[in-house]
Structure 1
Amino acid sequence: MNFPPIYILSLRAHRRYQPLVDQLEKMGMKYQISWGIDGRDKLPSQYEARIDRQGAEARMGRPMSDGEFACALSHRQIYEAIAKGEDASAIVLEDDAVLSEDFMALGSSLVEPPCGLLLFDHKNTYVRHRDRLVLPGGIMAYRIALPPFLATGYMVSKEVAAHLAYRDGPVVQPSDWPDAITQFESYACDPRVVTQRARDLSTSSLEVGRRKRGYRRKRSLRRLLYRAYWRRFWTKRTAKKLA
């Protein structure tokens, strides 16, 4: 099977990647596991220089947890590996990803990337429905209008990986997704070809970390004074919501 390189993001302490590995091996797919940074208790001090806590709070309207910073930095580590590699694209899967049969249909169409970023799984996704790609298996992909949630599975080109790894500044957002992706040809699959195994916010380690520290988004009417708020407001109303 002719596929781009596949990276599985996992934590050594989790060991929850086995179902995904079993699925890939059953399909005859090659992969490599990328061990992420464990920040569930505390972000290791050597990574502080690569994040901006004040910037994140200003951007998110709440503090980001150490687990969220660690997850974003773990994805960046994979981007760095992709940027240094020889392949034109790569696939990144979080260790709780579940692959559909349609995932296999994409196959060789991703070796030479059809776009800069292709999200296999996504949530709260607003797209420009007239800007679309037709992929193998009858799968449609629509141009992303606003950064959605979830980084469970995606294809990224070498060029976009290099930007996200080296030119996107300190981390101020969770791994799903920085505003920078709207600068590129970023698309979301419809229907989704990857889902999360046993998706449940009550059991998400990142959500547990936020709740434990009381990190909730602060709502303020001051947001109405900023152009960014109104740009997002109008984008939502002119875009199509997929999921």
Structure 2
Amino acid sequence: MLTNSQSTPSADDMTQPHWPIRIITLESDAARRAPLMQRLDELGLTYELSFGIDGRAGLSPELEARIDRVAADRRRLRPLTDAEFACSMSHRKIYETIIARNEPGCIVLEDDAQVGPAFAAFVHSGAYAEFPMLLLDYGAAYVWRTPVPLGPGLVAHRLAQTPDLATGYTLDRTAAQALLRATDPVCNVADWPLPLEDLGAALVMPRLVGHPEKGVLSNIDAARLILEAQRRSKPRTRYLTTAYWRRFWAKKRALRLRDGPAQTG
């Protein structure tokens, strides 16, 4: 782990986050993470770099022993790329760190995340400590209709169904333990290894973390697109599972939120 130059706590600890901010990045991706680091410096937020695993050139035998390709293929209905497995393991390192350091929780950003003053205000508020997990960025999502106030201009909606995107999120120790168990072995993409609604997770409205516009490929996108054509049609046997019908009825009762602009200006 590396920490930025502003890591020394100030006299007024209210200017510093209660939970650490960790940026998931690759050692070779200095240029990719530079804009986020500069922005966090401008906002006066401390952070650590959590160096992830680079799977673009394949996985070592040691890492292969920590994944289950057969289970992943069955769950995703297509083969996962080495880069996708590596991304999941990189997020897993965050969960491990929280547990190993006996921390109450952590704020996680991927290295292409986009943040602004609203994110900084949220960090200083400490409101995230009231939830096992909060998604600060997300795609189209189904949520329960009753919002929970988070502070001026912000509300949290409990998840009815897990959305995509792990660009920015908070999680407490209990959620980290659950996610750690769900990634032993790693058999799914980073977003997400289990239904987050089972953790009592919520999303923040409006979004506080942005991501690159569509058309800008992440490290794993290019590799994933190569295999996307291999996706199989969904088996009809899914209609016989309890999980399928639970998701079906949750969608019927929930409010659908679409991927809108984040407060990053």
* TM-score computed with the length of structure 2 as normaliser: 0.84
The separation in 1 between residues aligned to 2:29 and 2:186, in whole angstroms, is 24
Q: Retained in 1: the 8 A contact 2:77–2:234?
A: no
Q: 2:217 aligns with which of 185, 203, 212?
A: 203
Residue 12 of structure 1 pairs with residue 38 of structure 2 = no
Shift, 1:133, TM fit: 2.1
For 1:38 and 1:224, the matched residues in 2 are separated by 33
Q: Determine the structure 2 residue equivalent to 1:159.
A: 174
Structure 2 regions of 5+ residues with no counterpart?
1-14, 259-265
SS of alignment partner, residue 65 of structure 2? helix
**Greater fraction of residues in strand:** 1
Which residue of structure 2 aligns with residue 67 of structure 1? 83
Offset of residue 221 of structure 1:
4.9
Is the contact between residue 127 and residue 239 of structure 1 (CA under 8 Å) also seen in structure 2? Answer: yes
* Deviation of 1:44 (Å): 2.4
Aligned partners of 2:16 and 2:46 also within 8 Å: no
Verify: 1:84 aligned to 2:100, yes or no. yes
Match of 1:183 in 2: 198
Give the CA deviation at 1:43. Answer: 2.0
Alpha-carbon distance in structure 2 between the residues aligned to 1:112 and 1:143: 13
| Alignment equivalent of 2:149, drawn from 134, 144, 160 | 134
- Residue 262 (structure 2) aligns with: none
2:59 paired residue number:
43
SS at match of 1:50: coil
- Of the structure 1 ranges 101-110 and 56-65, higher mean CA displacement relative to structure 2 is found in 101-110
Distance in 2 separating the partners of 1:75 and 1:159: 16
Q: Deviations over 1:45-100 (max 9, x none)?
A: 21112211111111111111111110000000011111122431210100000113
TM superposition shift of 1:14: 1.9
Distance 1:112 1:229 in 2: 30
The amino acid across from 2:137 in the alignment is: D
Partner-residue secondary structure (3-state), 1:195: coil
Provide the C-alpha distance between the structure 2 equivalents of 1:215 and 1:79, rounded to a whole number of angstroms.
32
- CA drift at 1:147: 1.5
Between the aligned partners of 2:184 and 2:144, the Cα distance in structure 1 is 27
1:112 Cα offset (Å):
6.7
* Normalised TM-score (structure 1): 0.91
- Give RMSD over aligned pairs: 1.9
Give the distance between the partners of 1:152 and 1:223, measured in 2 at CA. Answer: 33
Question: SS in structure 2 opposite 1:98?
Answer: coil
Separation of aligned partners in 1, 2:216 and 2:103: 38
Pick which of 1-10 and 111-120 moved more. 111-120
- Give distance in 2, aligned partners of 1:49 and 1:109: 41
**3-state DSSP class of the match of 2:210?**
strand
Partner Cα distance (2:246, 2:79) in 1: 23
Measured in 2, the distance between the counterparts of 1:112 and 1:127 equals 18
Partner AA of 1:57 in structure 2 = D
Q: Rate the CA distance shift 1:220–1:119 in 2: closer, same or farther, 3 A.
A: closer
What is the rounded CA distance, in whole Å, between the counterparts of 1:162 and 1:226 in structure 2? 30
Retained in 2: the 8 A contact 1:83–1:159?
no
Quick one: which of 114, 119, 126 aligns to 1:110?
Answer: 126
